[in-house]
Structure 1
Amino acid sequence: MTTIHKPGRLVTYRDREWMVLPSDNPDILLLKPLGGAEAEITGVYLPLHILPGEEISEAQFPLPSASDLGAYETAKLLFDAARLSFRNASGPFRCMGKLSFRPRAYQMVPLTMALKQDIVRLLIADDVGIGKTVEALVILKELLERGDITRFAVICPPHLCDQWQQELRDKLDIAAEIIRSSTAAALDRKLTDDRSVFYSMPYQVISIDYIKADKRRGIFLSDCPEFVIVDEVHTCALPAGATSKSQQQRHALLYDLAERAPRHLVLLTATPHSGKDLEFISLLGLLNPGFRMYDFAAITQTQRRQIARHFIQRKREQIRRWMREETPFPARESKEIGYTLMPTYREFYDRVLRFARGISQTGTRRNTARVRYWAALALLRGVMSSPAAGAEMLHNRQRKLLDAEELQDFQQQPNPVFDTLEMGGDDSPLDLIETTDLNQDEQAELAALSATIQTLSGVEQDAKAAVAVKLVAQWLTEGYQPIIFCKYIATAKYLGELLKQECESSAFAPECQSSALARDTRKQSFRTPVDIQVITSELADEQRKEQIEAMGRSDRRVLVATDCLSEGINLQDHFTAVLHYDLPWNPNRIEQRDGRVDRFGQTAPTVKSYLLWGEDNPIDTIVLQILIKKVRDIQRATGVSIPLGEDRQSIMDEVLQEVLLKDQSRGQQMQLFAETQISNELETARQKAENLRSIFAHEAIKPDMIEQDLREVDEAIGDVATVEHFVVNAVQHLSATIQECESSAFASALSRAKAELSHSDAHSDVRAKAELSHSGYKLFPQNLPPHLRAHFDGQQQVFISFESPTPKGYRYIGRNHQFVEQLCQFLLAIAFEGHPDYHRLARVAEIQTDAVSVKTVLIMFRVRNVIKEAASAREVIAEEMYLWGYAGSGANARTLDYQEAKRLLLEARSLTNLSPERQQADLERELEQFKTLEPTFLKLAEQRAEHLVEAHGRFKELVGGRRYEKAVPVLPPDVLGVYILTPKPKLL
């Protein structure tokens, strides 16, 4: 007859102790080595014959004995090693023990929303840089740990695939496969049957552009995993009358995905509402088809509450101190920097403007007025971007005349010169010039302009470039690492080459020098090596990633990029300033660019965001004064990002056409009209955005309920301070050297902030000081055991930090880092089995101390609870460490609760060395005494199980109608240590 081994019990198998884990298959016994890692979990197929000597038998964890005597100070290491080794943490949040990071309290709110739903449908729309990726990963890991899902897919733009794969690996220790055009063939070769890669790969990161095509969409929808995250979902919205085939395909894919069999769907975007209600509703309809019928102009309170169950949107100020937990976001210094064209460039621009007006006002045998206007506008924008972009557009090209039907379709599109938040828009709009039906005189003037612009390159002729070079040099001197965003590929390459030339020559046009000091500062900045790189959409996603990672190893770096890097990419680790070289015509693009560096994880206390604009450039003046400044003023005053509505582009289109290409006096009137119209629209947008955020900020969720559970999880499995204390003391116990050192990153950042930003608010300075107080460490790993030393690749010294965000130059060591995991296992092995080269951790010790007035005994034990779901047969093991004790004897005896026992464990100090013989004799007496207290001890274990039930009850109240769970303790608990504290003898 086969013995049934219940989950949580200890067994002996192959001369080793194991813990029985829950198994879905009754023929497979899942075992985890006691004190071992998740990777060591083993399955035993019970129907097979078990060889003699390999029988599986019940085991009991051995009580401490005299052979386990050791130094009392090492008991703290044993306690921390045990709880840091837990992966199945007690408490209602099952994923917490398996995360490589500690989520902030506000990042748990989307999880509580998700757990209220049987089928998760959630749209997370927090501000740029708050941590939507982390929030989605927490939901994903929780559902995996609960057994609700076994497979998942992340759908994202192609340029974000590598970043998502890295996030999954770093934060969840999950190796996901990237599925896109460049990897599809290699993945297909790994398949062992004729099922698709979407069926065979459990963890997927998929390019949306790869699966949106009809030939792949059907296969994906058929084999799609049960949990899907969609990043940058605003690119999948479907406005009424959409003409973008790409956007239609993306939305059609998600529409079909949402309509298929019940599937968990988490959508992420920082810009859910572009100002167009129809686009927003098309996204909400993915969460619930009924939302497609809602009219936001007359939405009811009931409808708002229904949407709020699935939608959350919070601005940075709402979560900066949420639940009294400080979240360190950098202060942002924003500024507009004006420049005036050089005389020669001004003269050239006037010629281009006359040409643009001419081609926009004259007609040919065909009605091409709209296309001609677009071409004129594109030409003006290109010339003001850079001589290189202007030359590319002016160059005489083969004309591509459209037939009547093609021309009609082309002219029905929105103005292609205006910015959108779609990616990949860094090519010059050459097709506009090529498809414009120019006459012979116009073509001749185009050629003459093309010849002239070739002479206007360089800082001597290009004032915009000269100002940018000077500003970059200043930032480098101040310790900033800038990104320069350009509109066009040609401009990015041009500016990158200019900066490299400056590094080599240090020559600077006298017209642009404000002082000898400025000249000397710039020369000094470019005299030391600066890594200058240009990244545009011409590079593949993998090449962009490799180039950015390589730049991160340089001490001084400047990245010149187009908007292919302005959305979704995390650049806060390597860059601290943004220069908008080309003025975007969409304010949301500025926010997206700034969000690459101004986000959670940025260790600099201050980031810079400067915007260049031409003071004598009428286009820049209109865009800056009418649109961007008004949006920025509202954002600074309210903290609300403003989505612009349907009329913004048409108003700007009309005023640009009047001001630039028609009568000047009429243009001034139109500019005043546009300013009034856009001001009214912005006010409407502000009110709508504030209303949306007030509805969906979820401030009604009770912070104290989340806080209590997080606090208990921290205590059960160890927080950041526990990891730091343990690693520092553990490596010293193993004879390695570790030195505390002030983080130079924080020190330089604070010094720079004080030197530059004396006007900065007090909050920023306080935060910078707080960050400075966090210290890193210099570890010398030579004396560590080989398997621990191997984590540091043979380095003689390593800078490590336990803080996240991690300062530059330091390696992050978190709770689930493999080094910490193996360090815990090694110290536990020393405690229970001994080691010839290292002192044993004390399972037993006795000290004489002034921390107690009567003899006190501390018991350190490990509790395992089996959590059962009432509605299913599923079981989960939850572990926790606990401390208990008793003081005095007879009528004066009393028990110690956890907090008092922990205080004594951490703070009691030995006053004198007691002989091993005395410690052994006292231990034997206390073990006999402990047997008489065993019923009380077992009752305590049952109380811990009841407490776990209470936590789940509190959690059930928080998340609503989830399945009720009960916890059953595995008795007896494992006694890891017994420690005797005797008071200092009284003087006679």
Structure 2
Amino acid sequence: MTVNFAPGDLVHARGREWVALPSPKDGWLHLRPLSGSEGDATLLIPDLELTPPKPARFELPHDARPAVQATAELLSEALRLSLRRGAGPFRSAASLNFEPRSYQLVPLLMALRLETPRLLIADDVGIGKTIEAGLILREFMDRGEVEAFSVLCPPHLVEQWTRELKDRFGIDATTVTAASAARLERGLPISQSLFDAHRHTVVSLDYIKSEKRRDAFARACPGFVIVDEAHSCVGTHKGKQQRFALLRGLAQNMDRAMVMLTATPHSGDEDAFARLLSLIQPEFGSLNFEDEKYRERLSRHFVQRRRRDLTEDSWQEASAFPRHLTREEPYDLSPDHRAFHEAVLDYCFGVVEKAGSEQRERRLAFWGTLALMRCVGSSPAAALSALRNRAGLEEDRLEPQLYDEDGDDEDAVDVEPTPLEIEDSALADLIARADALTTTSDPKAERLKKILAPLVKEGACPVVFCRYIATAEHVGQILRSAFPKARVEVVTGLLTPDERRDRVTEMTEDPSRILVATDCLSEGINLQLLFDTVVHYDLSWNPTRHQQREGRVDRFGQPSPTVRSILMYSPDSAIDGAVLDVILRKAEAIRKATGVTVPLPDERGPVTDALMAAMLLKRQDRRQYDFLDTLTQGQREVEAMWRDAEENEKKSRSRFAQNALKPEHVTPEWDKTRDVIGDPTAAREFISRAMSRFDTPITRKGGLVHASMDSLPHILRERLAERGLKGTVRLAEKEPAPSGTALAGRAHPLVATLSESLLEAALEPDALPGLEIGRVGAWSTPAVKTVTTVVLARLRFKITVHARSGRLLLAEEAALIAVGPDGRTLSGQAVRDMLSTTASGDLTPAARDRQVQKARERLDSLMAGPIADHVRARAEELADDHGRVRSAIKGISRVSVDPVLPPDIIGLFVLIPGDV
């Protein structure tokens, strides 16, 4: 006779008790041990079992071991922290190893209120878009709505995404890049793609965008996709067109969930913005903002918050971000350096004159002039490298690199360009002068030393951003001599991404550290845990690149209350003055007016003309050139472009500011969930008590917990070693976790292993001998005024999502239910406080056993009455919570919650009034 089991039913099979989980296939049983973890779940086919599975009951055994107050509290917390299938509307909360800020839950709530999540998250740099996307992914995975996913991102972000998913969300993902794809595909059947074999992937956009690969990927693409740096997929150059073709193909399947992330959704290019919005829904590409219904529909899919929206408005999140202090630091050129600048500029203008009036030749000469002058302004070392390197750049790569655009070749962003064909005689003279300057005092570097000296003395840890490899190495050498007690490292594109990360990580133990880096680090590696100051040694020619540099340090999780950014420039330098006047100060004025850093206008021809004109007008030599009149027209066009950019940004803010969801809509729901499952504070306290239980006290030093695994019982050491925990483990007590540590959150492997093992030791003592945890007890306590029975129960619920394809989920929840003599019940924090109150005295074994026996005799009536009523009331409360979270949009799926009775009784304790 075959017995049909539903999720939540108890099953006896293979000599032990299990709880039935939703099964992936009819006729199969998906079972998890009652006393085990999610990782112990198994699939079995009943017809193939020697002894058929049968219904089981979970009862408190008559020979349950006795517990004292301390071990009863420990068992209660072990149960609470071990459960992963939460019953509340945020099922993912039990799987997170960090505490999200309330504002970071807004995109998650938006996603839950959509039939198929299609979101564009456009929050400022440093607010936490990766966290917001990860929360959505984890939640939908835990709801059973996502089995496979892909994160698509630029290549330099692949490793960061993989680490974030693992460390914060407990998700193991496979990296798919040009370097790893061949290895992953090796040995797979011809009919199977690597995306079939690896269900969770982080994929390099530049690897997957080619026509051959994107078609294959489109066929195997999972139903949930995250796209990072989405703005880099809608531009006009070839690489961005390929990326857009990839995403457009994926977006055509309207059942595919897509979460796109960008800090710069609207850069003044209406066509690019329309393409980006069309990836959410084709109709959004119309940009019909005059239509109120259009704006309302779009607002459900689009969230954009500036930092000041969170720090100044009702969110009151000022404590989540550091105070940002900015200042400019001018420096004077020496006569020799000024003369060299003028000599190079003279030569460049001569080349421009010789280029004639043909637009293409003159434009190339302009680019060459600006590129070479940029190297000259960076350092004599960069100028010398550019002059000696005659290979030059390909024409189609010259302009993007000049203006610091994201390109296909991220490892070439800091190479010195040589686009000009320089005559041999002039070249020899310029090389000789540049070479001579490399051996003399550099006024720019000297100014940097004076800037850093007081900061380093105060304990600041700066990152110095340079534009070129030669400049970074030159600056690094100077700073090593100037600050012998500090660790000075240089990171450039000459290092692989892994080498860059390792070099930064190696600085962790040095209290005084200075990092010199090129823009290969302006994206991809977060630096906020090690550094608190940014120095722009070289000006970036794209305002968003400045924002990206500062965003590595000034972001969510920065432990320092203050972050400094310092902009260096020379009033004597024609190129510095031109960039400041034409680009940076205009962008800064817009940022102050709108709160948003706007990118450089996409039309670069007028920008080039304006920069050339600005350099001409700043020269001491007022000689007239025949091309000056055409350049001044570019100046007027750029002024108009900046005005348009400011107006567009103001309109964008009024259109898209996400004001529909307020803190009062988010915070109470999250607080209720956290109260049930336990927050990071509860996890840290549990670690301390559990380790002390095994005579292995932890130590605290410098905000870190040091926990030794070596003194724990052998069976625990083995389980912890399987999760990579050996020797002494360092845990952070609060965010941010320093490099080389992890936050001691409820999902940390140490918390999970200890809680699961202690629960198993209580329920199956023979399975884990030596870990004695009792399940029944009685003691006197000042926490109660009448004899009170406390039941530690594991509640199970069936959650049904009534949608196009109904889903049945199993949810579990730990509950402490106190029952007084009159049958009234109490639960939640009040009962946890009762149980955690130190006993005023232990009863004799005989007295304890009498009290426990009385409670046992009363248990059946309690289970049929007050406790069953409590479980049913909790199911109704949960149904209301789910409905409130998901009901904002008409037609959204309905959720019902049914209790599984009777609940599992894990512990039974009697509290007797008694004074301390």
TM-score if structure 2 supplies the norm length?
0.91
Q: Following superposition of structure 1 onto structure 2, how do residues 825-904 of structure 1 map, counting pairs within 5 Å?
A: 825-834=756-765, 840-871=772-803, 872-888=805-821, 894-904=824-834
Distance 1:85 1:121, change over 3 A: same
Distance 1:416 1:703, change over 3 A: closer
Deviations 1:197-225, CA, capped at 9 Å, x for gaps: 23332112111111222222221122222
Q: Following TM superposition, by how much is the alpha carbon of 1:498 offset from its aligned partner in structure 2, in angstroms? A: 3.3
Q: Following TM superposition, by how much is the alpha carbon of 1:181 offset from its aligned partner in structure 2, in angstroms? A: 1.5
**Would you say how many aligned residue pairs link Structure 1 and Structure 2?**
902
Q: Which moved more, 1:641-650 or 1:23-32?
A: 641-650
Query: How far apart, in 2, do the equivalents of 1:333 and 1:672 lie?
Result: 35
Query: How far apart, in 2, do the equivalents of 1:21 and 1:347 lie?
Result: 78
Partner amino acid for 1:417? Answer: L
1:535 correspondence with 2:492: yes
Equivalent of 1:293, from 278, 286, 293?
A: 286
Q: What secondary structure, in the 3-state scheme, does the structure 2 residue paired with 1:432 have?
A: coil
Equivalent of 2:251, from 239, 253, 258?
A: 258
Query: How far apart, in 1, do the equivalents of 2:401 and 2:189 lie?
Result: 47
Q: Following TM superposition, by how much is the alpha carbon of 1:596 offset from its aligned partner in structure 2, in angstroms? A: 0.8
Deviations 1:240-275, CA, capped at 9 Å, x for gaps: xx3x22222222222222224632211111111112
1:245 correspondence with 2:220: no
Q: Which moved more, 1:893-902 or 1:378-387?
A: 893-902
Equivalent of 1:283, from 254, 276, 285?
A: 276
Partner amino acid for 1:850? Answer: P
Structure 1 partner of 2:15: 15
Query: How far apart, in 2, do the equivalents of 1:326 and 1:658 lie?
Result: 40
Q: Following TM superposition, by how much is the alpha carbon of 1:706 offset from its aligned partner in structure 2, in angstroms? A: 2.6
Distance 1:446 1:288, change over 3 A: same
Equivalent of 2:457, from 471, 477, 488?
A: 477
1:965 correspondence with 2:898: no
Structure 2 partner of 1:420: 405
Partner amino acid for 1:715? Answer: D
Gaps of 5+ in 1: 403-409, 503-521, 744-775
Partner amino acid for 1:976? Answer: I
Structure 2 partner of 1:214: 211
Q: Following TM superposition, by how much is the alpha carbon of 1:416 offset from its aligned partner in structure 2, in angstroms? A: 6.0
Q: What secondary structure, in the 3-state scheme, does the structure 2 residue paired with 1:182 have?
A: coil
Partner amino acid for 2:301? Answer: H
Q: Following TM superposition, by how much is the alpha carbon of 1:630 offset from its aligned partner in structure 2, in angstroms? A: 4.5
Structure 2 partner of 1:653: 609
Query: How far apart, in 2, do the equivalents of 1:217 and 1:446 lie?
Result: 46
Partner amino acid for 2:877? Answer: H
Structure 2 partner of 1:468: 448
Query: How far apart, in 1, do the equivalents of 2:44 and 2:400 lie?
Result: 66
Deviations 1:611-667, CA, capped at 9 Å, x for gaps: 110121122123224542343355356533334545686256325335427984989
Partner amino acid for 2:218? Answer: L
Q: What secondary structure, in the 3-state scheme, does the structure 2 residue paired with 1:527 have?
A: coil
Q: Which moved more, 1:276-285 or 1:145-154?
A: 145-154
Partner amino acid for 1:471? Answer: I
Partner amino acid for 1:306? Answer: R
Q: What secondary structure, in the 3-state scheme, does the structure 2 residue paired with 1:11 have?
A: strand
Distance 1:325 1:826, change over 3 A: farther
Q: Following TM superposition, by how much is the alpha carbon of 1:739 offset from its aligned partner in structure 2, in angstroms? A: 3.3
1:571 correspondence with 2:524: no
Equivalent of 2:384, from 371, 388, 391?
A: 391
Distance 1:676 1:975, change over 3 A: same
Distance 1:847 1:666, change over 3 A: farther
Query: How far apart, in 2, do the equivalents of 1:649 and 1:253 lie?
Result: 29
Structure 2 partner of 1:762: none
Partner amino acid for 2:43? Answer: G
Q: Following TM superposition, by how much is the alpha carbon of 1:894 offset from its aligned partner in structure 2, in angstroms? A: 4.1
Query: How far apart, in 1, do the equivalents of 2:915 and 2:533 lie?
Result: 64
1:926 correspondence with 2:882: no
Structure 1 partner of 2:653: 693
Query: How far apart, in 2, do the equivalents of 1:185 and 1:412 lie?
Result: 28
Structure 1 partner of 2:304: 313
Q: Which moved more, 1:461-470 or 1:32-41?
A: 461-470
Q: Which moved more, 1:898-907 or 1:322-331?
A: 322-331
Contact 1:158 / 1:541 at 8 angstroms: preserved in 2? no
Q: What secondary structure, in the 3-state scheme, does the structure 1 residue paired with 2:186 have?
A: helix
Deviations 1:894-938, CA, capped at 9 Å, x for gaps: 44344443332233x322232110111122122223333332221
Q: What secondary structure, in the 3-state scheme, does the structure 2 residue paired with 1:128 have?
A: coil
Partner amino acid for 2:377? Answer: M
Q: What secondary structure, in the 3-state scheme, does the structure 1 residue paired with 2:791 have?
A: strand
Q: Following TM superposition, by how much is the alpha carbon of 1:968 offset from its aligned partner in structure 2, in angstroms? A: 1.6
Distance 1:59 1:795, change over 3 A: closer
1:906 correspondence with 2:836: yes
Q: Following TM superposition, by how much is the alpha carbon of 1:384 offset from its aligned partner in structure 2, in angstroms? A: 1.1
Contact 1:857 / 1:978 at 8 angstroms: preserved in 2? yes
Query: How far apart, in 2, do the equivalents of 1:251 and 1:67 lie?
Result: 63
1:347 correspondence with 2:332: no
1:613 correspondence with 2:569: yes
Query: How far apart, in 2, do the equivalents of 1:868 and 1:333 lie?
Result: 52
Deviations 1:18-44, CA, capped at 9 Å, x for gaps: 111111312211110113111110111
Q: What secondary structure, in the 3-state scheme, does the structure 1 residue paired with 2:535 have?
A: strand
Q: Which moved more, 1:88-97 or 1:557-566?
A: 557-566
Contact 1:124 / 1:311 at 8 angstroms: preserved in 2? yes
Q: What secondary structure, in the 3-state scheme, does the structure 2 residue paired with 1:433 have?
A: coil
Distance 1:301 1:156, change over 3 A: same
Contact 1:155 / 1:231 at 8 angstroms: preserved in 2? yes
RMSD, aligned α-carbons: 3.2
Structure 2 partner of 1:511: none
Distance 1:452 1:199, change over 3 A: same
Structure 1 partner of 2:368: 375
TM-score if structure 1 supplies the norm length?
0.85
Q: Following TM superposition, by how much is the alpha carbon of 1:415 offset from its aligned partner in structure 2, in angstroms? A: 8.0
Q: Following TM superposition, by how much is the alpha carbon of 1:228 offset from its aligned partner in structure 2, in angstroms? A: 1.3
Query: How far apart, in 1, do the equivalents of 2:637 and 2:391 lie?
Result: 41
Q: What secondary structure, in the 3-state scheme, does the structure 1 residue paired with 2:490 have?
A: strand
Q: Following TM superposition, by how much is the alpha carbon of 1:417 offset from its aligned partner in structure 2, in angstroms? A: 3.0
Distance 1:20 1:245, change over 3 A: same
Contact 2:795 / 2:900 at 8 angstroms: preserved in 1? yes
Structure 2 partner of 1:580: 536
Structure 2 partner of 1:803: 734
Using the aligned pairs only, state the percent identity: 37
1:452 correspondence with 2:433: yes
Partner amino acid for 1:944? Answer: R
Q: Following TM superposition, by how much is the alpha carbon of 1:553 offset from its aligned partner in structure 2, in angstroms? A: 4.6
Query: How far apart, in 2, do the equivalents of 1:941 and 1:126 lie?
Result: 41
Query: How far apart, in 1, do the equivalents of 2:579 and 2:761 lie?
Result: 69
Query: How far apart, in 2, do the equivalents of 1:181 and 1:726 lie?
Result: 44
Partner amino acid for 1:802? Answer: E
Q: Following superposition of structure 1 onto structure 2, how do residues 501-580 of structure 1 map, counting pairs within 5 Å?
A: 502=481, 522=482, 526-528=483-485, 530-536=487-493, 538-580=494-536
Partner amino acid for 1:477? Answer: K
Gaps of 5+ in 2: none
